[in-house]
Structure 1
Amino acid sequence: MPAAELQSQLNEVREQLDQNPPLSEQERADLHELMVQIEERIKLEAAVGDNDINTGINLAVERFEASHPSLAMSLRNIMQTLGSIGI
C-alpha cells in the first residue's frame, strides 16, 4: 500500500533527524512543517492535482542535496511515492 510506504519513508526522515544532523532551527522547522503537511495528505487520502506539497518537497531536496544527501534521497523517495498515489 503506497500510503504505508510513504509513512515508512516519513519515519526514516524522522530517524535521520533524531541523529541530529547539523541543521539550523529554521531548517528543522521547515522539515517538520513539510512532514506535517504530508501526514495530513495521507490522512485525507486526497489524490487531487494540488502540487504545493510536491513543490515544497522538491525545494527541500534542492536545499539539502549537497549538505545532507541521505536526507535528500529520502525526500525524493517521498516525492516519488506521492506521485505514484496520484498526489
Structure 2
Amino acid sequence: MPARELQEQLDTLREQLEKNPPLTESERDNLHQLMQQIESQIEMENTVPDASLSDGVNLAVERFELEHPTIAGTLRNIVQTLGNIGI
C-alpha cells in the first residue's frame, strides 16, 4: 500500500513538472534525479531502505518551498510516505 501511495505522489509530481513551471535546468535535473531514486526504492521495496533518500527529498522541499509551493507540497507528501514505510 505505501509503495502505491508513493507511486501516486510521483505521478502527481510528474504532472506538475509537465506543466512546465519556471524551473532552472539544475532544479529540473535535481527533481528528476530524486524521482529516479524514489522509483528505484519502490522497485526494491523489500530490500534495505536508503535513508539518504528522505534527506534528499527534504532538501528539495527547502529548495522549492518559496518559489514553487505546489511542488514543495508534493515533495512533503513524499517525505511523509517515505517515513511511513520506514525510510
Asked whether the two chains share a fold, i.e. TM above 0.5, the reply is yes
TM-score (norm 1): 0.94
Change (3 A) 1:72 1:47: farther
The equivalent of 1:43 in structure 2 is: 43
Stretches of structure 1 lacking an aligned partner (at least 5 in a row): none
Larger mean CA deviation between 19-28 and 39-48 belongs to 39-48
Distance 2:31 2:18 in 1: 13
Cα RMSD for the two superposed structures: 1.2
Larger mean CA deviation between 70-79 and 40-49 belongs to 40-49
Does the aligned pair in 2 maintain the 1:13–1:74 contact within 8 Å? yes
> Which whole-Å deviations, capped at 9, do the CAs of 1:24-71 have from their partners, x for residues lacking one?
011101100000000000000046464210110000000000000010
User: What one-letter code is carried by the residue in structure 1 that aligns with 2:74?
Assistant: S
Where has structure 1 moved over 4 Å in runs of 4 or more?
none
Stretches of structure 2 lacking an aligned partner (at least 5 in a row): none
Question: Aligned ranges for residues 10-29 of structure 1 at < 5 Å?
Answer: 10-29=10-29
Question: Aligned ranges for residues 64-79 of structure 1 at < 5 Å?
Answer: 64-79=64-79
Question: Aligned ranges for residues 49-64 of structure 1 at < 5 Å?
Answer: 50-64=50-64
User: How many residues are matched?
Assistant: 87
Distance 2:35 2:10 in 1: 7
